[in-house]
Every structure is written in structure tokens, then in C-alpha cells.
Structure 1
Amino acid sequence: MNKTTTLLALTGGLALTALVLGLPQLTAPLLHGATPLPAQPSPPPPALPSPPPSTSQGSLAMTSRLSHPYIIPGRSDLFVTVDLQGQEVPGAKRSPVNLALIIDRSGSMSGYKLEQAKQAARQLVKMLKDEDRLAIVHYGSDVKSLPGMRATPANRERMVQYIEGIWDEGGTNISAGLLAGQAQVEAARSDYRVNRLILISDGQPTEGSTDAGSLQQLAKDIRAQGMTVSSIGVGTDFNEDLMQAFAEYGAGAYGFLEDAGQLATIFQKDLQQATTQVARNVELSFELPEGVTLGEVLGYRSSSAGNTVRVALPDFSAGQAERVVARVVVTGARVGQAVDVTGLKLAYTDLLKDKTVGTTARLSAMVTDRREEVLARQDKDATVFATRARSAQNLQKAAEALKLGRKDEAKQLIQQNQQMFHEAASVAGAPAVAADMAEQDAAMAEYESAGNAYEVNTAVKRSKTQALKSFGRMGSTY
């Protein structure tokens, strides 16, 4: 590596570190032409009132915090973190479910993978209760279905016999499988509160609709009709970006399984999540006051209208936790005054109360000219959460670089992550990021050792799955 390349790499790493740890707050006034800080700092500003630990007016609790509750005059980059958690419902009877299990039986699933999928399907049937409803759909080039029926003892026997007769053949017509599953669930949707499609695939779509845009729109359409889509990728040859999009647009969960033998465990998790739902149609909004702009919502798709930024979230089950991290740009004005950073609004259908619920919160930062005050008041948890989300962006980029054969570039991105967590440790303490450092070390070792297509594909899918969790999709990523 020549001196120029080394300097650029170091500069990039320092820029990432500065963004996460809030160094722009210390240097921004000079960089943006504002009045330099006075030589003699003024007395410490009054403390901001402590925000409540969480806000809840329904089945979801919302906790919000700023990475930097104190900022200096001029432009500052802050991170807003919002934690959401579904209410626990001890001893509650689970809701009946209306399911469609959609199994890829294309030629690539032949042998072990299809046998394990069939075994997992049999176990799923055993988990159902008489009031549950299940349709079994399997697709190759064409689609075949066992129509949805109540899971009575006699019907469960029929389902098991039908599963035995599934054999591999044909291409991978995912769109036809989803449409068939949608039709089966739709037939009884009005009779159930929980309506869900579970899609399994080990490959790329080769027949029917094959472009990502059309398939993503299909997931959106299914969601718009009151059904959710969970997607499970098996092996290393499937399109992980597409399968993740199915779950995101379908408001369900995504799972990556290297071994089809893990399918039964995932089915059990997804069934539990589906049957203990407490909220659906969940949307988080950022209301940005004048002088504040949104840099990005990390790891989520968002839409903007005026000063409002909306983020669609998955359906929530009891105890499910998800996190949203956003970067905002704030202009601090007068020392000693508080600056509004963002208003937050959480809206959803509360399934426990059977009504629409809205929860609000507001975050503000105090303006100070004391640099030490900015650092001393830095929120340790928010700093770690922001670092994880930023590292997830790098991890996604590293996975793509590895997929394209640019291993050195991928490793440099992981090295940047290691540096970011090292700096976060100086704020929050080494134990707070010990697991994160271990994950980055494991990714580096895996990237270095990946020597064939199978190992590269495995590393790519592991990294992208880990990135989803680091963004904050903890409950909706298996």
C-alpha cells in the first residue's frame, strides 16, 4: 500500500470514528464558519430534565435517547435511538393462526434439504391446535396446494400424508408460490386475527416474476391485504437481499439457515411470534423542527413528507424488541438554551385493546460552549447503538465487496468497524462492546479464510444477517 492510499484509509477511518463519537460537535463551528469558541468557557449550563425511561400508551413501549444531550453552537451530527418492545402477556392464550406454508421443491432442493423441509413441516403440523388453519403450498415450475383447513386430528393426518408426497422437480417460481399462498390465506382471512405466509427457498427465482421490483411489490400487496410474510433462506445459493425484502415489505421475519435441519426450530419461533402478536401496522415518525434535518435512518427504508419522516416496522409479538437509529443534523444557537432535536410519534393497531394507539415523545439538546461538558454528558448506550448501526452499514458493504471478489476492500471495512468499536469503548467501556468486537474479529477471520464459492456465499449471508441485527432488527431476524 503506498503512502497516499494509507493516508486515505486512515482519514476515512478517522471520519467514521468522528461521526460516531460526536467529534463534529467539537469542530463543527470552525469548519462551518461560525464564531470560534471563547477562550474562557462560561459556567456549566443548567441540566436538562431527565426524559422518562419509556413511554407507553398501549401494547408497545418506546424508549428514546440522544447520543449527545449536550452540543456546542453551530452544526452538530447527533444520533437518535428509539427502542420499541412488545408488552409481555403472561399466561395469555395464544391466538388461532391462519397459515400458508410455502415450500420450494425445485431441483436444487432435492435430497437432504427437501427431506428436512418435509420433516420440519410435519413438526409444524403437530404444533397446531384444532382452531388453527394451515394450507400447504409447494412450488417448482408449477404450484400445487393442499387447501387450507382447520388442524383437527383428522386433518392433521391428511396434512402429514400430503407432505409425504412432495417431490423435487422444476425451476423456482417463487411468485406463483406466494400468489397461491396468498389465495389460501385470503379465503379465511376475515375469520382470523393472525394471517401469515411462511416462504422457504434455497435458490434464485427462475420462472414467473423474476425481477426484484415485481416480487417486492407482491410482498407489499400481500401486506396491504392484512397478511404478513416471513421468509427463510436455506443453504448458500438463494438471493438474500430478495428474501430479506420479502420479510421487510411483508412485516414478518427473515431467517438464514445454512443447514435445513434447523427449519423445525425456525418454524416454532415463527409460529410463536405469529400467535402472540400484540401490534400491527406499526409506524414510527420523526417530526423535525426548523433547523434540523435528517441525515439517514440506518438500516430501514423511510419516506418523507415535509418535515415528517416515516419508518414502517414489522408486526410485534409479546416481548419482541426492535431498535431504530437515525442520524440528524442540528444547528445549536445560544449557549444555555435547549434546542429541539425531534418529535417522535409511534402509531399502531393495538391487538390487545383492539384499537389504534399513538404514543409521542420529544428529544432536546442543551447548547454549551464547554467541550468537556459535551463529552461528559455523552450517552453511553446511544453511542454503542449508533456504532453498531454504523458498523452494520460497513458490514453490508464488506459482504458485497467479498461477493464481487474484492476481499482486501472487504477486510478494510471490517478494520474500520474494529476501530469504531475501539473508540466506542473509550466512551462506554470495553465490556459494552466486547461482543461486538468479537463479531468483527470473527467476520475478519471468515473473510480471510474464504477460499471457494461456498465459503464466500456463506460469509456474505452471515454478514448480511448480522447487519440486520446490528441495525436494530433483533426480533424480526432469526
Structure 2
Amino acid sequence: MNRTVLFLSLAGGLALTALVLGLPQVTRPRTEPVVEVKTPPPTPPLPVQGTPGSLTMTSRLSHPYVPAGSSEVFATVDLTGAEVPGSKRRPVNLALVIDRSGSMSGYKLAQAKQAARHLVGLLRDEDRLAIVHYGSDVKSLPSAQATPAQRERMLQYVDGIWDDGGTNISAGLSAGRYQLSTAQEGFGVNRLILLSDGQPTEGVTDDEGLTRQVRELRATGITVSAIGVGTDFNEDLMQGFAEYGAGAYGYLEDAGQLAALFQKDLQQASTTVARDVTLTFTLPSGTVLGEVLGYNARQSGNQVMVSLPNFSAGQLERVVVRLSTTGDAVGQTVRVTDLTLNYTDLIRNVGVENGAALSAVVTDRQEEVVARQDKDATVYAVRARSAQNLQKAAEALREGRRDEAKGYIQQNQVMFKEASTVASPAAVASDLAEQQATLDEYESAGSEEEVRSATKKSKVKALRGFGKVGSTY
């Protein structure tokens, strides 16, 4: 490791240590003893749980106690889709959009066709499916109800898919949108599943234009799941499709696992309990947004809005936000942020709005700040911060800066070890094991193929670290 990278890694490690243990901090006299406070401190604010609907919201602060002055804290919000035991799954209107460009020839296309056959076999009479395949051009089997006769027709159509041409993703998206629109009004769930193994080479090829297409799909009520196969596709673009399309993202190095992923996406789509999900942070005077970690957010005045995917039964997604809050007087309860969750409850077919608030107590006792630190919120915050480093590490590895990439992972190890002193070693044992596995993979990645694979795996781990648990396959 060169001296500059080593210095940056050590400096970053020290700063991250301060994040976990010394956040927030007050200055303690070195020679005077700590004065015993006879008056008991206020009761710490408890984690806040929103009113249950088809989504349950649980929120907490990393530091329910803060020193006077300005402090950096993390707010974490968990959203969970309701379980509906014994309920019949919801009929779905699907469009399966398959890349059959030249790079898919052979094993990958054979596995994609086998996965498509498996998906057809899972459909029920009340479901609909359109099959679209694209290369330089696009061809479609029109959307049809999945009756036994139509399922047989679908299987025959899949058998006739061949590899040819470039990668015209935009044409595939457009065709899938049209096919879904023919029956969209009759379904509560309309989903496009996009499969690709390469970069867009024809039609609309720029990321902005393709992302705009996906946004338009979502605006019409269609969700988009994006599945990348192999190591040649643009993972940032496909991840963006899933986020802006309110669906899921999956990465498969081996196309042989496609059938299981198609089945998982069908299960998620057919058990959808909430859609049009938006989480809004309202920042009172004295609170400033640092960042929303891992999500695209929109800020308007003192409101920060985060759009989330559609939720299936039992699905968990987490949002972590870094905030700066200010408290003046000891004993004061400071309102850190208000939360508003808006969504369409598909169990009751109604719009829902839930609210919650997160507050902290100002104290002059640093030991109280440390003792009352929320263990779960601290671990969640460190996972999200480590995910940022993991993204940076993946880019550095891709560009050949291997020592820098390893330095980011080593910073993560420092963070998790320090977090273990707040929570427990067991609470972060799996995180530390995952960081070591990533470090070992970076060390052993020799070929260009292995580097691309390690890069994509790291970015999937980063998504989960940010809290995109249920929407990352």
C-alpha cells in the first residue's frame, strides 16, 4: 500500500471510530473528577412505531441523549410489509422482457428460456403474461390470460426464441409497457421483469434516457424488476431501474439460477401489500440534513422525501439518514425529525398516512450519551456507512486501484469492531465475516472477469447494507 493510501486509510479509520464511539462528544476535564448528579436524568425517548396498516414503521435514533450544542445523529426507519396468513395470492399482470442479443447465445439463453418455462408453469388462470425478447429489434407474444391453452402457446413461443443482434433495452421496455397496458386497469399489480447480460448498444443507450423510461413506467403504475446476468452488464443502470421502477434488483453470475429468481419475483409481485410508498422527513428548526444513505432523495424546503419500492408480505426495507441537531439547555427535549409515511394499502384498498416523531434529550453527562446509545440504530448506521465504503471500494477495484479498495474495507472492519463495543461482538460478527470475505476476494481477483465479478458482488452487498433488504435478490 502506498504511503498516501495508508495515511488516508488510517485517518479514515480514526474518523470512523469517532463516529461510533464519540458521536456526539463533549469535552471532559482531564484532572477533575466527574461530578455525581443527584437528580436522575429524564427517561430516554423510546423507539417509535407507527400505526399498523399493511406497512409497519419502526423508527429510532442512534443517540437519544445528546450534549448541548450541535450533534450528529442517525435516524433509522424500518418498514415491514404485513403478513397475510392463508390469503390467496393476488392475480398479476406480467411482462417478461428477455435479452436475446448475441452475447446471450449458448448457455445463458438456454437457461433464460428454461427459467421462462418455469415461470409459465407457476402462473394461474387469473394471471396474465406477455413475453418480449429483444436484440437489435424486438418481438412479442401479446399479453394473454394464463389459461391452460394459452400456457401451452407461451411455452411454444419460448422454444422459438433465438439469439441475434445488439442490445436494444429501450425497445424491450417500450414493448413490455405496451403489452402490460392492454390489461392494466383490471389488475392491482402490473410488473415488468427485465433480463439483460450486456450494455445497451442500440435504441436509447444513455443512462439518463433509459432511466427516464423506467420512471415513466412507474408513473403509469407499472413496477420494474431488473435482473443482470454475467459480469458484462451495467450494474449501476440496472440497480437504478429497480429503484426508480419500485421493483427489485438481482445479480446472477450463473444463469442457471434464473428460474429461482423469476419465481421469487413472481411471489413478491403476487403478495404485494403496499404501493406508491413515500417516506418524508420533516426537519424542525435546528435540524439539518446530512444525507440519506443509499437512496435517491428529494428535498424541498425542510422536507426530505424518499420513494420506496412496492412492498410484499413480510418484506423489510430500511432507511438510514444522517442529521445534525442542536440543543441548547440541559434537560431540554429536542425534536430531531418528524416522519410521515404515505402509501396505498392494497389489503384494504385505501390510501394511508402514518406519522411519528424522533426526539433526543440534552444532557451534560457524556457517560449518559454513551450509555444510552441505541445499539440497533448504531449497528444499522455503521452498516449504511460501510455500504458507502463498499461502493467506493468496488469502483477503486474496477479502476485498478487495488490497495485503495482494500483500504476502504479495512476502514469498515474498524467501524464494526468499534460498533461491537456499543452493541456486542455477536451483533456484528456476520458483518465482520462478510468484510473479511470481501477483502479476500479482492486479494485473489486476478483476471478481468474476476474483478468484474467482485465489483458486482460488492455493489449487491452495499445495497443490502443501506437497508434495501427485500428489494435486493
TM-score w.r.t. length of structure 1: 0.96
Cα distance change of structure 1 residues 81 and 71 upon mapping to structure 2, 3 Å threshold: same
1:227-238 equivalent positions in 2, closer than 5 A: 227-238=222-233
What is the CA–CA distance in structure 1 between the aligned matches of 2:281 and 2:18, rounded to whole Å?
Answer: 24
Q: SS of the counterpart of 2:274?
A: strand
Partner residue of 2:339?
A: 344
1:33-432 equivalent positions in 2, closer than 5 A: 40=35, 42=37, 43-52=39-48, 54-432=49-427
Q: Which residue type is aligned with residue 224 of structure 2?
A: V
What is the CA–CA distance in structure 1 between the aligned matches of 2:312 and 2:2, rounded to whole Å?
Answer: 53
What is the CA–CA distance in structure 2 between the aligned matches of 1:438 and 1:39, rounded to whole Å?
Answer: 39
What is the CA–CA distance in structure 1 between the aligned matches of 2:8 and 2:256, rounded to whole Å?
Answer: 46
What is the CA–CA distance in structure 1 between the aligned matches of 2:96 and 2:47, rounded to whole Å?
Answer: 44
Q: SS of the counterpart of 1:182?
A: helix
Partner residue of 1:17?
A: 17
What is the CA–CA distance in structure 2 between the aligned matches of 1:5 and 1:204, rounded to whole Å?
Answer: 32
The answer to whether the 8 A contact 2:17-2:415 is kept is yes
What is the CA–CA distance in structure 1 between the aligned matches of 2:229 and 2:2, rounded to whole Å?
Answer: 42
1:127-146 CA distance string (max 9 Å, x none): 00011100000000000000
- Tell me how far 1:47 sits from its aligned partner: 1.2
What is the CA–CA distance in structure 2 between the aligned matches of 1:65 and 1:334, rounded to whole Å?
Answer: 22
What is the CA–CA distance in structure 2 between the aligned matches of 1:41 and 1:245, rounded to whole Å?
Answer: 54
Q: SS of the counterpart of 2:25?
A: helix
Cα distance change of structure 1 residues 394 and 3 upon mapping to structure 2, 3 Å threshold: closer
1:159-192 CA distance string (max 9 Å, x none): 0000000010000000000000000001110011
Q: SS of the counterpart of 2:369?
A: helix
The count of corresponding residues between Structure 1 and Structure 2 is 470
1:391-413 CA distance string (max 9 Å, x none): 00000000000000110100000
Q: Which residue type is aligned with residue 420 of structure 1?
A: M
1:253-299 CA distance string (max 9 Å, x none): 00000110100000110000000110000000001100000100000
Q: SS of the counterpart of 2:24?
A: helix
What is the CA–CA distance in structure 2 between the aligned matches of 1:405 and 1:28, rounded to whole Å?
Answer: 42
The answer to whether the 8 A contact 2:291-2:321 is kept is yes
- Tell me how far 1:40 sits from its aligned partner: 3.8
Cα distance change of structure 1 residues 337 and 41 upon mapping to structure 2, 3 Å threshold: farther
What is the CA–CA distance in structure 1 between the aligned matches of 2:387 and 2:163, rounded to whole Å?
Answer: 37
- Tell me how far 1:24 sits from its aligned partner: 3.9
Where do 5+ consecutive residues of structure 1 fail to align? 31-36
- Tell me how far 1:13 sits from its aligned partner: 1.1
- Tell me how far 1:50 sits from its aligned partner: 2.9
Partner residue of 1:34?
A: none
- Tell me how far 1:8 sits from its aligned partner: 4.0
1:82-137 CA distance string (max 9 Å, x none): 00000000011111111000000000000000000000000000000011100000
Where do 5+ consecutive residues of structure 2 fail to align? none
- Tell me how far 1:418 sits from its aligned partner: 0.4
The answer to whether the 8 A contact 1:252-1:315 is kept is yes
- Tell me how far 1:58 sits from its aligned partner: 1.4
The answer to whether the 8 A contact 1:28-1:76 is kept is no
The answer to whether the 8 A contact 1:105-1:140 is kept is yes
Partner residue of 2:25?
A: 26
The RMSD of aligned alpha carbons is 1.6
Cα distance change of structure 1 residues 469 and 261 upon mapping to structure 2, 3 Å threshold: same
The answer to whether the 8 A contact 1:68-1:377 is kept is yes
TM-score w.r.t. length of structure 2: 0.97
What is the CA–CA distance in structure 2 between the aligned matches of 1:205 and 1:26, rounded to whole Å?
Answer: 50
Q: Which residue type is aligned with residue 458 of structure 1?
A: S
1:443 to 430, 438, 444: 438
What is the CA–CA distance in structure 1 between the aligned matches of 2:253 and 2:422, rounded to whole Å?
Answer: 37
Cα distance change of structure 1 residues 426 and 29 upon mapping to structure 2, 3 Å threshold: closer
What is the CA–CA distance in structure 1 between the aligned matches of 2:151 and 2:69, rounded to whole Å?
Answer: 66
Cα distance change of structure 1 residues 321 and 334 upon mapping to structure 2, 3 Å threshold: same
Cα distance change of structure 1 residues 264 and 41 upon mapping to structure 2, 3 Å threshold: same
Q: SS of the counterpart of 2:93?
A: strand
What is the CA–CA distance in structure 1 between the aligned matches of 2:429 and 2:207, rounded to whole Å?
Answer: 37
What is the CA–CA distance in structure 2 between the aligned matches of 1:145 and 1:393, rounded to whole Å?
Answer: 40
What is the CA–CA distance in structure 2 between the aligned matches of 1:278 and 1:18, rounded to whole Å?
Answer: 40
The answer to whether the 8 A contact 2:63-2:373 is kept is yes
Q: Which residue type is aligned with residue 373 of structure 2?
A: Q
What is the CA–CA distance in structure 2 between the aligned matches of 1:38 and 1:316, rounded to whole Å?
Answer: 53
What is the CA–CA distance in structure 2 between the aligned matches of 1:86 and 1:75, rounded to whole Å?
Answer: 36
Q: SS of the counterpart of 2:284?
A: coil
Q: Which residue type is aligned with residue 359 of structure 1?
A: N
What is the CA–CA distance in structure 2 between the aligned matches of 1:389 and 1:6, rounded to whole Å?
Answer: 23
